[in-house]
Amino acid sequence: MTTGKKNIELLDFLHNELELSDKDMAVALKHQEFDNGPLPMLLWQYGLVDLQQLEQILDWLYNES
């Protein structure tokens, strides 16, 4: 699986399962360009997901690897 495909699948998961808005994801992706941090941590850091949602994201990433 390519990194680009994995990122698209992660964005789909965030949108469909966690119901994050396109705007919230765009904010995190913009900050990722500057902070160069992992997207799940940036989502949590900026208050776009709570700790339970962060755990769901990390579980999803673990299961996809």
pLDDT digits (tens, 9 = 90+) for 7-53: 889 999 999 999 999 999 888 888 888 888 889 999 999 899 999 99
| The pLDDT of residue 34 | 84
Using CA atoms, how far apart are residues 48 and 41, in angstroms rounded to an integer? 10
8 Å CB contact between 19 and 58: no
At 19 the pLDDT is 94
**Residue ranges of domains in the chain:** 3-64
Q: Which residues are CB-contacts of 20 (< 8 A; sequence separation ≥ 6)? A: 14, 43, 48, 49
